[in-house]
Structure 1
Amino acid sequence: MTIERFRQLWTHRYFKYSHILKAHFLAYQAWIYFKTKKAKFAKGQKLIAIVRTEHFGDIVAAEPIGRYVRSLHPNAHIVWFVKPSYHELIDFNPSVDETFGEFCVTQRRVLFEKNVFDKIYPLQFSNNNHCTKCQVSIGNPIADRKGINVHTYFNFGNLLEVFAQTADLINSKISFPADDQPRLYLQDQHRQKADSLHLPERFVVIHCQSNYVPKDWPAERWDQLVKWLSENYSYKIVEIGLKSNLTTKEMNYRNLCGQLSILETAEVIKRADFFIGLDSGPSHLANAVGTAGVILMGSLGAFPSYNPYSGSYGRQENAFFVRQEGKMCSELSFEFVKEKVVSVLDKAILKRE
């Protein structure tokens, strides 16, 4: 073994075991915190955990579960476990008493092994509970028993129905038993941020990159779409997301990528006439705020045709899915997408007039 390889190996081990040690320390710290809090509860009051830590679209899709769990346990203290970067999606939810920003899955595993929680609702399946630093995964026996995993989950319904099944809240092939429309709880601070942007009176929001390449539509076709929209409609076009990969120089186009928090993004989408985007987190925001959506979708792995949404998007009351069964999103031609966008926009314009 070379000196350089030896150094790399022990550097890796140092960071790995330091991370694991911190996870254990934070777990014990959290255990003491929740044990102390629980000691002050009224007689019979329960401490309940809901676990959906990522991705933010999944957290939005799972929001109705918070309300449903509250209906089942009206007097409980409900804690939602989430990655710190997504805490704002839970912080203002009136059905949840507390947001717990999870350090990693090892922290959660050690904490739950202390049995301080009276009931845990895991809205995750085994192979999406992984910490790359600890190299540890957490299983979900409920999901395993039902055969729900990353290769099968859309065979069990939309995301809300899948998560409800992984928590044993519903059985397979049964619709969600309560209001299935996701909601967001936007605050004055989010509205004020949107006000400060001086958005146009009429505009379309676009979102052009997901966190998973097979769901994406090529950037050059998005550029074509922006150019065509600018030439044929009076709408301004506002792009949101983490970063843009477009090269368009159209005067009617504005790039807000990387400038907004999740809920600030939701407020911008709420003010738009339409959302045109991918099967990704922002489309779930659009569903939750009630903005009409045109969603570019394709086959996804073992799922040639699927529907991730509940509520008005899931029933396609407020959304139009642009897809050709068996084709990936990247294979959708510009002309095919343009034709579908025309049908949606023109119909809305006629209705407005």
Structure 2
Amino acid sequence: MTLERFIQLWTHRYHKYSHIFKARLLGYQARLHFAAVKRSLKKEQKLIAIIRTEHFGDIIAAEPISRHVRSRHPDAYIVWFVKPVFHELVDFNPAVNEVFQEFCVTQREVLLQGNVFDEVFQLQFRNNNHCDKCQVFIENPVAQQRQIDIFTYFNFGNLLEVFAKTAGLIAERATFPGDDQPQVYLQDSHRQKVDSLDLPQRFIVLHCRSNYAPKDWPADRWEQLITWLSEKYNYQIVEVGSASNLNVKTKSYRNLCGQLSILETAEVIRRANYFIGLDSGPSHLGNATGTYGIILMGSLNNFPDYNPYSGGYGRQENAVFVRRKGSPCAELSFDFVKEKVEAALGTSERKV
């Protein structure tokens, strides 16, 4: 073994075991914290954990579960487990008493081994119960028993129904029993931030790049679509997301990628006349804020025809899906998408 390789190996081991030590320490600290919370509750009050740590579209899709659990346990102290980067999606939820910002799954494993919670609803399965640094998986016995995993989950309904089933909240073939319209809880700070952007009165918001390449539509076709929209319609075009891969010159286009928090992005989408985007987190914001959605979708891995949404988008009361069954999103032609967008926008919106 070379000296360089030796240093690399022990540097990796140092970071790995330091991470594990910190995770376990934080787990024991969290166990003490929630034991104290439980002692402060009345005898009949339950301490309940809801675990949906990622991704932000999934957390939005799962939001109705918080209200459903609250309706079943009106006096409970409900804790939502989430990764720190997504905590704002849960911070202002009135159905949740506390947001637990999870360091990693090892911390959660140590915490839950203390049996401090009266009920634990896991809204995820093995594939998103993993820490790369610890090399640790946490199994969900309900999901295992129902054979819900990354290869099968959309066979069990939309995301809300899948999560409710992995938690054991509803039967394996049931539909969600409560209000299935997801919500986000926008605050004055989010509105004030968007006020400062001086957005136009009439605009279409676009989200053109997901965090999973098989869901994407090629950048050059997005550029074509933006040019066509700016020429044909009385709308400005505003792009949102973490980063843009477009090269757009038209004055009708504005790039806000990477400039906003998740809930600030939600407020931009709420103010838009239309949302045009992919099956990704911002489309769930569109569903939650009530903005009409035009969603570019394709087949996804083992699912040639799937619907991730509940509520207005899921029933296509407030959205249209642009798709060809069995074809990936990348194979949708510009003309096919243009035709669907044109039908959704209508002739009354065109420039004179």
Query: TM-score range with shorter-chain normalisation?
Result: over 0.9
After TM superposition, give the deviation of residue 40 of structure 1 in Å: 1.2
Superposition map of 1:232-251 within 5 A: 232-251=232-251
Superposition map of 1:21-100 within 5 A: 21-100=21-100
Distance 1:119 1:348, change over 3 A: farther
- State the AA in 1 paired with 2:264: E
CA distance in 1, matches of 2:173, 2:282: 27
Aligned 8 A contact 2:78 2:97 in 1: yes
Aligned residues: CA RMSD: 0.9
Aligned counterpart, 1:221: 221
Q: Secondary structure at the residue paired with 1:321?
A: strand
Q: Deviations over 1:17-72 (max 9, x none)?
A: 00000000000111111111211111211110000000000000000000000011
Aligned counterpart, 1:279: 279
- State the AA in 1 paired with 2:328: M
- State the AA in 1 paired with 2:292: A
Q: Deviations over 1:79-113 (max 9, x none)?
A: 00000000000000000000000000000001000
CA distance in 2, matches of 1:332, 1:86: 31
Distance 1:221 1:89, change over 3 A: same
CA distance in 2, matches of 1:277, 1:163: 23
Aligned counterpart, 1:109: 109
Aligned counterpart, 2:320: 320
Q: Secondary structure at the residue paired with 1:276?
A: strand
Q: Deviations over 1:305-346 (max 9, x none)?
A: 000000000000000000001110000000000000000001
CA distance in 2, matches of 1:116, 1:66: 20
Q: Deviations over 1:236-280 (max 9, x none)?
A: 000000000000111000000000000000000000000000000
- State the AA in 2 paired with 1:200: P
After TM superposition, give the deviation of residue 347 of structure 1 in Å: 6.2
Q: Secondary structure at the residue paired with 2:346?
A: helix
Structure 1 range deviating more: 123-132 or 55-64: 123-132
After TM superposition, give the deviation of residue 349 of structure 1 in Å: 4.0
Aligned counterpart, 2:4: 4
CA distance in 2, matches of 1:127, 1:286: 26
TM-score, normalising length: structure 1:
0.98
Alignment of 1:262 onto 2:262:
yes
Give the count of matched residue pairs: 350
- State the AA in 1 paired with 2:65: I
CA distance in 2, matches of 1:344, 1:122: 38
Aligned counterpart, 1:125: 125
After TM superposition, give the deviation of residue 74 of structure 1 in Å: 0.6
Aligned counterpart, 1:143: 143
After TM superposition, give the deviation of residue 126 of structure 1 in Å: 1.3
Distance 1:348 1:28, change over 3 A: farther
- State the AA in 2 paired with 1:222: W
Aligned 8 A contact 2:296 2:322 in 1: yes
CA distance in 1, matches of 2:139, 2:277: 33
- State the AA in 1 paired with 2:325: E
Aligned counterpart, 2:174: 174
Superposition map of 1:168-207 within 5 A: 168-207=168-207
CA distance in 2, matches of 1:213, 1:199: 30
Q: Secondary structure at the residue paired with 1:60?
A: helix
- State the AA in 1 paired with 2:98: E
- State the AA in 2 paired with 1:145: Q
CA distance in 1, matches of 2:265, 2:138: 32
Aligned 8 A contact 2:233 2:349 in 1: no
TM-score, normalising length: structure 2:
0.98
After TM superposition, give the deviation of residue 298 of structure 1 in Å: 0.3
CA distance in 1, matches of 2:283, 2:58: 11
- State the AA in 2 paired with 1:136: V
- State the AA in 2 paired with 1:279: D
- State the AA in 2 paired with 1:331: E
Structure 1 range deviating more: 34-43 or 12-21: 34-43
Distance 1:148 1:347, change over 3 A: farther
Aligned counterpart, 1:288: 288
CA distance in 1, matches of 2:153, 2:38: 35
CA distance in 1, matches of 2:236, 2:347: 18
